[in-house]
Amino acid sequence: MLKNNMGETEPPSRQNIISSGCGAINYDFLAPSPSFPIRISIKEKAKPVYKHKFPVSDKANEFRKRFFPEATVHNWNDWKWQVRNRIKDLRELGRIIQLSEDERSAVEKHTGSLPIGITPYYASLLSETDFNQPLRRTHIPVNGEYLKTPGEADDPLGEDHDTATPGLVHRYPDRVLFLTTGFCSTYCRYCTRSRMVGENNGEYSFSVTQWEKAAQYIEAHPEIRDCLLSGGDPLTIGDDKLEWLLDRLRKIPHLEFIRIGTKVPVVMPQRITPKLTKMLKKYHPLWMSIHFTHLDELTPEVKESCGRLANAGIPLGSQTVLLKGINDDINVIKPLMHGLLKIRVKPYYLYQCDPISGSSHFRTPVEKGIEIIEGLRGHTTGYAVPQFVVDAPGGGGKIPLLPDYIVGRDGDDLLLRNFEGGVYRYTDPDGTLGANKIVPCA
């Protein structure tokens, strides 16, 4: 069973002090050159130089001092400490949050997969008193999780049906979904794979042996050019094992590029260590899709984690699930999309919430997503406009949905509506698009 592989990487906040043994810095490394022909040696009093220091926001630091007073900043910035000290049960949750009766009773009755799991860092972003705060609603259970409504299913996307070998889903012609682990550092209550994540010794298990079988399947299918690593969260895997997997996949000649789907840079940004990014950049072309939910997640720590990944040459895209009462408002989504661009993340997908069992309290009408896209397109830069998609139940795959900008036809002219509602003519003599629409009278 592949767990979270703690202990396989150096803490991200380890301070590397550069100095000579005698307390002086020696600059003898300068080599002669036409512009600097003389080799010199300069002695000066050494000053400690701390490399790769990770930021801690005032809010997180206050939270640490209040609820984890024994933890130093060094502990706090150690991703392994964050994993070990996750909030996982009612007692720990009640210590830091004033739970509503709905939350308390839902936590008490929970069993099985999709357990409670919140890193101390991410817990610092949750409201202590407001049970309607968006981030709190996405990570603390309520009794709505236990109500199954029509159309919901444990595996609504039919991933198990499309599993080619354990842990490998082959649905699209040229790409595969590679499930690497069932572990996440923090569990979202609307998770598409709620049936399997956090499960101990159940139907779903993961191992290096299983990874090898999946890699062999990819090798045997030259049509596969793209592999998405997901889970669980691949970035909870230790550096050595993750590198083993990346190296194994990179040796497959027809596999053109690899993607990693993750929320770790958002819920445990301390995981993005210099050691990790140095390793990842060896396996380009490597892309990353990062799960963001709300503007409140865009902290100094997350800016740092995304900056480190971007500086390693990894293109970053966002994935956001549309959630009722949480981010289903243009005044929430637009600032989030703008904020993502500022930390070098391109808005990629806006998902209609999948109909997993017990998710009706999160789902919006589909038209809400189209309304939000219409509120973005033309009103802000195109870079800030994600694709709105419905992942079709039963294994139909992602289906993009757009506002309807086609008004109809008038002779050889295609009539189009712009973002302001104005109607414009585009001469299109050989076209038929819009011919089936009745143009309203002026």
193 is catalytic: yes
441 is catalytic: no
Given the residues 88, 154, 172, 213, the one annotated as active site: 172
Say whether the peptide bond before residue 355 is cis (omega within 30 degrees of 0). Answer: no
CA distances from 310 to 107, 303, 385 (A): 38, 10, 20
412 is catalytic: no
Q: How far apart are CA 118 and CA 78, in angstroms?
A: 15
Given the residues 80, 86, 137, 175, the one annotated as active site: 175
Helix axes 330-342, 366-376, angle to 10 degrees: 60
Given the residues 184, 227, 306, 353, the one annotated as active site: 184
Q: How far apart are CA 225 and CA 155, in angstroms?
A: 26
213 is catalytic: no
409 is catalytic: no
Cβ neighbours, 10 Å, residue 393:
15
Instruction: Look at the alpha carbons of 213, 8, 190, 173 in this order and tell me if their dihedral is positive or negative.
Output: negative
306 is catalytic: no
Given the residues 188, 227, 306, 353, the one annotated as active site: 188
Residue 245's nearest CA partner among 274, 218, 271, 220 is 218
184 is catalytic: yes
Adjacent-strand bridge partners of 414: 409, 426
Q: How would you classify the pairing of strands 286-291 and 163-165?
A: unpaired
Given the residues 275, 368, 398, 425, the one annotated as active site: 398
Q: How far apart are CA 319 and CA 429, in angstroms?
A: 39
Using the structure block, give the residue that is written with the tokens 């299918």: 221
Given the residues 86, 193, 303, 409, the one annotated as active site: 193
Given the residues 189, 191, 303, 334, the one annotated as active site: 191
187 is catalytic: no
Given the residues 187, 227, 354, 409, the one annotated as active site: 354
Q: How far apart are CA 120 and CA 82, in angstroms?
A: 6
Amino acid at 112: G
Q: How far apart are CA 261 and CA 273, in angstroms?
A: 17
160 is catalytic: no
- Catalytically active residues, by annotation: 171-172, 175, 184, 188, 191, 193, 354, 391, 398
